[in-house]
Structure 1
Amino acid sequence: MIRATARWLGSSAALLFVVTVLTFLLSTLAPGDAAKAILSGQTTSYTPEQYLQLRHALGIDQPLPVQYWHWLDGLLHGSLGTDLFSGQPIAEALNGRLAISLSIIVGTVVVSGIAGVGLGVYSAVRGGLSGRLVDGVSLLGLAAPNFWLALVLVEVFAVQFPIFPATGYVSFADDPGEWLRGLVLPVLTLSAGGTAFIARQTRDAMADVLTRGFVVALRAHGIPLRSIIFKHALRNAAIPVVTLLGLMFVSLLGGTVLVESVFAVPGLGQQAVTASSTHNLPMVEGVAFYFTLVVVVVNLLVDISYRLLNPKVRAA
């Protein structure tokens, strides 16, 4: 257990380092910089001297290794730096947005998991036409682009039938009902493809487990099929599904960028787009750091799930 924990800590630290270094390098390779963005927003013309002075004040005229070391030193002392435009601490600016993005991601994983597992189990047990129906639904869910589905959902459920808001976000603390209504369309948009993936994976895993000897023996002893499915078969089929849910959670970190833009939700994805367009390097680094932390935590939860579902993994 201690050795496994040490490996996890080492791999997590290495992942954080690699991601932040690559983010830093790729961000600095883009044309332009924050000084130009700031001066362009303040005045229509500026002198080269003003530009150089602002670059020096922001610290972006230093060599790249020096800039990264200053950022890393701040991180080791508990600071992600400050926003180059507003002067607000990065952590303070991102904490509220993290909760918004996680609301969409967790909601999508929960909806996709429940719907996908339900469809997959039903298809595996019934077979035949049900299996082909799941394949058809899966192809439909995978083929529908997120941006197109988002626009369709807005047109139907926010314009033609104004049931849910088309844009904006209300925090849970302010109004739980409006918070939930505001999440419905973004979550449905992202859940289509996820439900399709999980349904197919669940169906294949369940179909395999239902042919194993212990299931045949349980059915021969007169155990009800429902009890076999939910007490025995589903647990054995759950590991690949849990893996897919973990991968889906991680992939949604990027998927929220488009959805947050379409629905005008002020999450991390929208902040990443704004920071990248204005060359706000500390903010870009902060978003990348938060995303990587989420990946680390999700990997840990998936590993814990493996150990709970499979005693062999727990003993390893």
Structure 2
Amino acid sequence: MLMFILRRLLAGIVLILVSASAIFGLMSLSNDTVARSIAGQTASPEQVAQKATELGLDQPFLTRYVDWLSGLVHGDLGSSWYNGQPVTTIISTKLPVTLSILVVGLLLAAVLSVLIGVAAAVRGGWLDRAVQGLAILGFAIPAFLIALLLSVVFAVHWKIFPAVGYTPFAQSPSGWLLSITLPAIALAIGAMAATAQQVRGSMVDVLGADFVRTLRSRGLSERSLLFRHALRNAIPPGLTVLALQSIGLVGGAVIVEKVFGLYGIGTAITSASTQRDQPVVLGITVVMVIIVVVVNLVLDLAYGLLNPKVRVA
């Protein structure tokens, strides 16, 4: 099990470095215009050159890359080119917002997809058809449309939840829950639809397997048969789909935060990208990749616990 975890951690570190390096290289292509943008369109060539020197843009690419990578290893992500605020400070103030809707959305997707998928496989009929129809809708409807619909119905019309804004957990746990419920549901629906469909298909296959018929013939209770034996064998493919969906959740958070007026790292990276604020974009990119790696590591561990063959593969 230890080697299984170490392999996943190593793969995650490589992914973080490759993703950050690619973003660094792409953003370096526009360094000539960044200094002009920050100095102002009316700045003289001397002022632009001075600003480029201040930002270190006059240094060779390899030198800048090694300096940034060294800072990353030591936990120093630099400072914003526009306001001088440390990137770690920007992330620390924005990350709780994004993590709140991501974690709650992922938990909702995981729990509800298992319940709905199992129910559809066991009961069949209209429930099975409804799950397959919802899966198609979940794929087809973008997250921002779902977010807008939830906001109009539950926040504007019925006024059950706040339409915009975020309440920190330390300030008010109930207010925090109300402020993230709709964004988390908007994120979860797409992932839940895909995962529930996979769980449903896997559960149908497992329930038709020979070992299930053997256990049922021996008088094993239906509850024990479903949850101790069938679900244990059917859930791993669902976890694989959920791990893939988690990547989409991180990207979807950028749009959902805009709809509900949540100032998380999705909003921050959008603003920084528009300004070509390289340190902020790089820092947030690293954090978002780390979130994806951690989520996938947790799901891989769950997969490994359910299927021992994975740990030695």
Q: What's the TM-score, normalizing by structure 2?
A: 0.93
**Structure 2 unaligned spans of 5+:** none
C-alpha distance in structure 2 between counterparts of 1:73 and 1:31, whole Å: 20
- After TM superposition, the structure 1 stretch with the greater mean CA deviation from structure 2, 295-304 or 180-189, is 295-304
Q: Tell me, yes or no, if structure 1 residue 275 matches structure 2 residue 266.
A: no
Distance 2:54 2:269 in 1: 23
1:14 and 1:85 mapped to 2: Cα distance?
30
Question: Which segment drifts farther, 241-250 or 101-110?
Answer: 241-250
The root-mean-square deviation of aligned C-alpha atoms, in Å, is: 1.9
CA contact (8 A) 2:9 2:297 kept: no
Q: In the alignment, which residue of structure 2 is the partner of 1:82?
A: 79
Distance 1:144 1:9, change over 3 A: closer
1:260 equivalent to 2:257? Answer: yes
Separation in structure 2 between the aligned mates of residue 234 and residue 13 of structure 1, nearest angstrom: 32
Matched pairs, number: 313
Q: Is the 8 A contact 1:306 1:313 kept in 2?
A: yes
Secondary structure (helix, strand or coil) at the match of 1:62 reads: coil
C-alpha deviations, 1:261-291, integer Å up to 9, x for none?
A: 1112111111111111111101111011111
Q: Secondary structure at the match of 2:116?
A: helix
Partner of residue 119, structure 2? 122
Tell me which residue corresponds to 1:249. 246
Q: Is the 8 A contact 1:33 1:278 kept in 2?
A: no
Matched residue, 1:13 = 13
Report deviation, 1:171: 0.8
Letter in 1 for 2:255: L
In 2, the alpha carbon distance for the partners of 1:77 and 1:184 equals: 36
Task: Give 2:237's aligned amino acid.
Answer: P
Amino acid in structure 1 at the alignment position of 2:74? H
Q: Which residue type is aligned with residue 231 of structure 1?
A: R
Per the normalisation by structure 1, the TM-score is 0.92
Distance 1:189 1:9 in 2: 30
**Which residue number in structure 1 is paired with residue 39 of structure 2?**
39
Matches of residues 41-120 of structure 1 in structure 2 within 5 Å? 45-120=42-117
Q: 1:204 to 1:20 in 2, by over 3 A?
A: same
Aligned pair 1:295/2:292, yes or no? yes
Q: Which residue of 2 aligns with 1:201?
A: 198
CA contact (8 A) 2:23 2:282 kept: yes
Paired position in structure 1 for 2:183: 186
Per mean C-alpha deviation after superposition, the further-off stretch among 254-263 and 94-103 is: 94-103
1:131 aligns with 2:125: no
- 2:254 match: secondary structure: helix
- Contact in 2 for aligned 1:135/1:200 (Cα 8 Å): yes
Distance (Å, rounded) in 2 between the aligned partners of 1:181 and 1:9: 35
How far apart in 2 are the matches of 1:217 and 1:294?
43
Cα 1:217–1:190 shift into 2, 3 Å:
same
| Residue deviations 1:92-133 (CA, integer Å, cap 9, x gap) | 220232222111111111111222111111110112332212
Which residue does the alignment assign to 1:237?
234
> Does the 8 Å CA contact 1:109/1:248 hold for their aligned counterparts?
no
Contact map agreement 1:27 1:276 (CA 8 A) in 2: no
The percentage of aligned residue pairs carrying the same residue is 42
Deviation at 1:36, TM superposition (A): 3.2
**Greater alpha carbon shift after TM alignment, 255-264 vs 144-153:** 144-153
Within the alignment, does 1:23 sit opposite 2:23 as a pair? Answer: yes
- Residues in 2 aligned to 1:139 and 1:78: alpha-carbon distance in whole angstroms: 43
CA distance in 1, matches of 2:143, 2:57: 37
For 2:269 and 2:177, locate their aligned partners in 1 and report how far apart those are by CA, in whole Å: 24
- Residues 31 and 57 in structure 2, CA contact (< 8 A), matched pair in contact too: no
Q: 1:179 Cα deviation (Å)? A: 0.7
Gaps spanning 5+ residues in structure 1: where?
none
Using the alignment, how far apart are the partners of 2:304 and 2:26 within structure 1? 37
Range with greater deviation from structure 2 (140-149 or 208-217): 140-149
In 2, Cα distance between equivalents of 1:78 and 1:198: 36
More divergent stretch after superposition (205-214 vs 5-14): 5-14
